[in-house]
A and B are shown apart, each in its own frame.
Chain A
Amino acid sequence: MVESPPGLEGQGFFATSLDSLVGLARANSLWPLPFATSCCGIEFMSTMASHYDIGRFGAERLSFSARQADVLMVMGTIAKKMAPVLKQVYLQMAEPRWVLSVGACACSGGIFDTYSVLQGIDRIIPVDVYVPGCPPRPEQILDGFMQIQELAKKESTRRRNMPEYKALLASYGIE
């Protein structure tokens, strides 16, 4: 059961702030876009399967369409050839959106310090939660997902209009 946010309770009613209610709803129904490129993608498939079910967290419905997704889960190595595709997918996502970087390759290039691998996706898109590991265990991926849930719960509903967020996107060259 999900914990209810702080509020006023009485016979037949529950009063709380709109922010926390919206945060609660958002956090428990995040639709991920699994951007699975390599080995971490197979660990994600294990996370999706019945043993480490990610459906418990509300992420049952994977959305491969960027417009309908909330969380961009980048799992696996991003090569320089793939980087423009990743950026385009991120740009196509609608607000509110979060980015979960799964695996050492997505966080920082991993073991591939080579001419063809992008050394971390945070060079091109802003990342919210990093999950290190090569590959991270499904429990770690779920932990990262739960941290995204915490972010979704606590963030203001109009994060997109806040000046810090706009400055962050501007630093990546995103309008």
Chain B
Amino acid sequence: MENLNNQQIIETLQNTFGENTIYGIGESHGILQITTHVDNIVPMMHFLYADPVLKFQFLTDLAGIHFPEAKGQELGVVYHLHSLENNVRLWIKAYAPIEAPNFPTITGLYASANWMEREAFDFYGIIFEGHPNLVRILNVDDMDYHPMRKEYPLEDATRHDKIDEMFGR
């Protein structure tokens, strides 16, 4: 099995999807990371899954992230893909504005994305269109805010005995 290198992956993707759909190419300790537009995620993932050479058929992780300073691209999702046969990892990133954080769901392709997307929704409020059951998963159901966003504090705002003065905050 010849080793697949990152340059091959970039070239294959650029040939299939066009050069301007893939921007922000980087490498982090050997792992290729590409940034793309929200609409390209599903076709790209299907392509990567079905391609006989690339074979990215394992979704390792799906992480939400919040950049309050990046106007128009505040909420993002980082998809960690892994090609087990070639032993190559790939990160696909996409961003959406905070007023309309709509991402397509990939539960049709990877069953493991179900709860991962629910977790991203719970923590960041990212809406995954087409998800079978997009409700909160880890927090209480009647929570009205998305706690991992940068503007919310860690502590419980309603606590009454741990005063900030005593704890030096």
Residue ranges of A at the interface with B (Cβ–Cβ < 8 Å):
80-81, 113-117, 119
Cβ of B139 under 8 Å from chain A? yes
User: Which B116-169 residues have C-beta < 8 A from chain A?
Assistant: 138-140, 147, 152-157, 159, 161-162
Q: How far apart are B155's CB and chain A's nearest CB, in angstroms?
A: 6
| B157/A115 in contact, CB under 8 A | yes
Chain B at the A interface: SS class = loop
From B138, B153, B157, B159, contact of A119 by CB (8 A): B159
Chain A at the B interface: SS class = loop
| A119/B162 in contact, CB under 8 A | yes
Residue in chain A with minimal CB distance to B140: A81
Residue in chain B with minimal CB distance to A119: B159
Q: How many angstroms between the C-alpha atoms of A114 and B152 in the bound complex?
A: 11
**5 closest residue pairs by CB, A with B:** A115-B156, A81-B140, A113-B155, A114-B154, A80-B140
| A119/B156 in contact, CB under 8 A | yes
Of A115, A117, A119, most buried by chain B (CB within 10 Å of CB) is: A115
| B155/A114 in contact, CB under 8 A | yes
Q: How far apart are A124's CB and chain B's nearest CB, in angstroms?
A: 14
Q: How far apart are B163's CB and chain A's nearest CB, in angstroms?
A: 13
Q: How many angstroms between the C-alpha atoms of A81 and B139 in the bound complex?
A: 7
Number of interface residues of B (CB under 8 A): 13
Complex contacts, A119 vs chain B, CB 8 Å: 156, 159, 161-162
Complex contacts, A80 vs chain B, CB 8 Å: 140
Asked, given contacts A119-B159, A119-B162, whether A113 binds B140 with beta carbons under 8 Å apart, the answer is no
Complex contacts, B140 vs chain A, CB 8 Å: 80-81, 116
14 residue pairs bridging A and B, Cβ less than 8 Å apart: A80-B140, A81-B140, A113-B154, A113-B156, A114-B154, A115-B147, A115-B155, A115-B157, A116-B138, A116-B156, A119-B156, A119-B159, A119-B161, A119-B162
Q: How many angstroms between the C-alpha atoms of A117 and B158 in the bound complex?
A: 12
Residue in chain B with minimal CB distance to A113: B155
Of B138, B154, B156, B157, most buried by chain A (CB within 10 Å of CB) is: B156
Residue in chain B with minimal CB distance to A116: B139
Q: How far apart are B51's CB and chain A's nearest CB, in angstroms?
A: 41
Complex contacts, B155 vs chain A, CB 8 Å: 113-115
Q: How many angstroms between the C-alpha atoms of A114 and B161 in the bound complex?
A: 14
Complex contacts, B156 vs chain A, CB 8 Å: 113-117, 119
Complex contacts, A81 vs chain B, CB 8 Å: 139-140
Complex contacts, A116 vs chain B, CB 8 Å: 138-140, 147, 156
Q: How many angstroms between the C-alpha atoms of A153 and B162 in the bound complex?
A: 36
Complex contacts, B138 vs chain A, CB 8 Å: 116
Q: How many angstroms between the C-alpha atoms of A115 and B140 in the bound complex?
A: 11
Complex contacts, B153 vs chain A, CB 8 Å: 115
